[in-house]
């Protein structure tokens, strides 16, 4: 039976999986550390602001699915929490890294996934990433889905299905799409065609929009890393 995790449960599970791999010396996590991990400004899309009650409720939901819970045998007065995704899904290291990044950052291309999983698992080639994604898609029920390729892009994006199925928006290039009734992206595409006299204008606009979004994400990550570095000397 397919899972249907909430948005908060997805973030909590992703944060636990990330810290388990990236900072095992600080894992399992206390509730306060888990809140901070969920609300990180770097490596998170979207950035969230969850309080302790929201994280505690999400942990309760994950525990019902046997995906997380209090750590057993932890030598501490403070309750600490761990994920149990490995026990439930029996992921390989590569699959574990891919699902973790998809949980934390949403839809991504194989190229983006290869770069963002490197600190958790090194994929030698894009074909290795693709092979791992294929195995996740072939599970029953599937855990990953490929979205239709967007206008002006060379790679398809992939999403996790732990929160239920994902329906991609219809692009302006698909048969039957009507620019007069479509989304803002469809109208932008139509405007690009009118300005340039051919479809290439819309594709260039889509590429520029994606580049701007990528630059904004990188800037946000750099700001967050700088703040963390600066706090060490306060």
The domain 7-145 is placed in CATH, from the list 1.10.10.10, 1.10.580.10, 1.10.3480.10, 3.90.120.10, at 1.10.10.10
- Give the number of C-alpha atoms closer than 13 A to the C-alpha of residue 161, restricted to the C-beta side: 19
User: Looking at residue 130, what is its pLDDT?
Assistant: 96
Extended beta strands in 130-182, E state: 144-146, 158-160
C-alpha 133/C-alpha 146 separation (Å) is: 9
Domain ranges in the chain with CATH number 1.10.10.10 = 7-145
User: Looking at residue 3, what is its pLDDT?
Assistant: 86
pLDDT tens digits along 91-105:
999 999 999 999 999
User: Looking at residue 46, what is its pLDDT?
Assistant: 95
Below-50 pLDDT ranges, the chain: 169-200
Backbone angles phi, psi at 90, to 5 degrees: 55, 50
């Amino acid at each position: 039976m397919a899972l249907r995790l909430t948005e908060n449960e997805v973030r909590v599970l992703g944060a636990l999986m990330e810290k388990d791999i990236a900072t095992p010396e600080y894992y399992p996590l206390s509730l306060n550390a888990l809140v901070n991990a969920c609300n990180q400004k770097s490596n998170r899309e979207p950035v969230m602001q969850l309080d302790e009650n929201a994280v505690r409720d999400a942990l309760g939901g994950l525990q019902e699915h046997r995906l997380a819970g209090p750590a057993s045998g932890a030598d501490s007065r403070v309750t600490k929490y761990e994920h149990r995704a490995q026990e439930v899904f029996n992921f390989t290291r590569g699959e574990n890294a891919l699902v973790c990044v998809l949980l934390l950052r949403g839809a991504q291309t194989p190229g983006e996934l290869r770069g963002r999983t490197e600190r958790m698992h090194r994929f030698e080639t894009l074909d290795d990433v693709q092979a791992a994604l294929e195995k996740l898609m072939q599970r029953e029920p599937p855990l990953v889905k490929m979205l239709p390729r967007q206008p002006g892009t060379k790679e398809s994006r992939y999403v996790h299905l732990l929160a239920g199925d994902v329906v991609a928006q219809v692009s302006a290039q698909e048969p039957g799409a009507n620019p007069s009734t479509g989304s803002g992206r469809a109208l932008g595409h139509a405007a690009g065609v009118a300005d340039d006299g051919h479809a290439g204008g819309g594709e260039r606009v889509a590429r520029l929009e994606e580049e701007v979004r990528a630059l904004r994400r990188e800037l946000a990550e750099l700001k967050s890393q700088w703040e963390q570095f600066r706090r060490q000397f306060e």
